[in-house]
Structure formats: structure tokens, C-alpha cells
Amino acid sequence: MGLTDQLQTLYRVDSQVRGLRTRVENSERYLKAQVRQLAELTTEHQEAELRLRQSEASLGNLETERDTIQARVDKLRDELNSCTTSKQYSAVQDEMKSLKEKVDEQDTIALEAMEEIEVLRSSVGSIAEKRNERQTLQAKAKEDLDQRTHDVSDRLEELEREREVAAAMLPDKALEVFNYTANMNDGETMAEVLEVNRKHREYVCGECNMELPFNTVVLLTNNTDHLVQCVGCQRILFIAEELKTALAK
């Protein structure tokens, strides 16, 4: 088996390993996203609840203050009957008027506070609903990850052993190039040479469409122990047997 064939063998196994790992990694990323979003919603819900409690406490203080003022107004109303002079009567009336204005002012503030509380309660409920939905999504994501990990574990172990065997057959330099190229191109390590026009000796990289010198094609056709990379995408080039046979005629 020539070097190119060995590289293709490793490439086939490596692609399967990366494919299975990607399935698990995608599930892991999705779960992490759900965990992060749930944490954000939980914090948002806690902050909204805190604002609601603070607003409710403020309203309670307003109502207490308003009731205290109203109680004073009621007491002054009773005192009007016991006034003996017009001066006393006027003084009591003036205080009652001032206090009634304060009561009206407190009623207005309390009404605004109650409207704000209703908005906050609606917000808390809405966030809680979103949080519950996210909890369901997170639980499903965790279940899917566990199932996917279980489903691929045996096959992944088998393929990783096959990859080790295929990698061990390659010269150190060729393996180094393969691994570097695989990481640079997300596992798309090799590219087929495609024929554009045989008469004009036009050939391109099947991945990046970079035009290839004809001597590169000749080298790959006649020498399966030579590693050749595309100058554009750096993928390792190979020629399909059908084209190789046609060119050898």
C-alpha cells in the first residue's frame, strides 16, 4: 500500500472519528447553552422578585402613613365640635385641609405604586414561565447528550483504535502533516484532483478549486509514495483510480 493509500485509509477513519465526536460535542455545546440561559433567567427572575418585594414593602409603608394621616383627620373632625372660639375652629380646619391634601397625595402615589406592582408581577410571571421552559429544554438536552454519548461510545472506541493503527503505518513527517492539515481544515484533510480539460491539461483542487500545475498531477499519477498538498487550502491531494488509469494510458 502506497503512502497516498495509507493517508486515505487514515482519512476515512479520522473522518468517522471526528463525525462521532462532533455529534457529542454539538450536544455538549447545546447543553452548555441551555445551562447558561437558564442561569441568566434564574438571576433575572430573582432580581424581578426582589424589585416586586421592595415595591410591595414601599406600598405597605405608604398605606400605613396614609392611614395615620387619615386617623388624624378623623380626630380633628371630632375636635371641631368642641371648639369654643372661631380662631380654634379655623386652626383645626386649616390643619384638616393640609392633612387631606397629604391623604390625596398619598392616594395618588399608592395608586401609581399599585400599577407598578402589577407590571412587576406580570414580569415575574413571564420570566418564571420562560425559566420553566428553559428547565425543560435543559433536562432534554442533558438526556440527549447522555443518550448520544452512550450510542457512540462503543463505535468511537473501535474507530479510535483503527485510527491508531492507520496512523502508526505512516512515516512521522507524513502523520505530522496529516494532523496539522486536519486541524486546520476541520477534518477535511484530503482533496481529490478534478479534471477540467485533459487536452489543455487543466486540473483543480476538488475542495478550493485552485488550479494545479500539471506536473503535480503527473507526480500523483506515477508516485503514490509522495505527499502533495494544494497550495491554496493545504489539503493533501489524491487522484481517483479512474482518472489515474485514464492518465496512465
Mean pLDDT of 162-180: 95
> Does the pTM exceed 0.85?
no
Report domain extents, the chain. 3-168, 175-248
Q: Tell me: pLDDT of 225 over 90.
A: no
Rounded CA-CA distance 95/205 in Å is 95
- Provide the pLDDT confidence category of residue 1 given band limits of 50, 70 and 90: low
Instruction: Report the CATH architecture of 3-168.
Output: Orthogonal Bundle (1.10)
The pLDDT assigned to 226 comes to 85
71-116: pLDDT as tens digits? 999 999 888 888 888 898 999 899 999 999 999 999 999 999 999 9
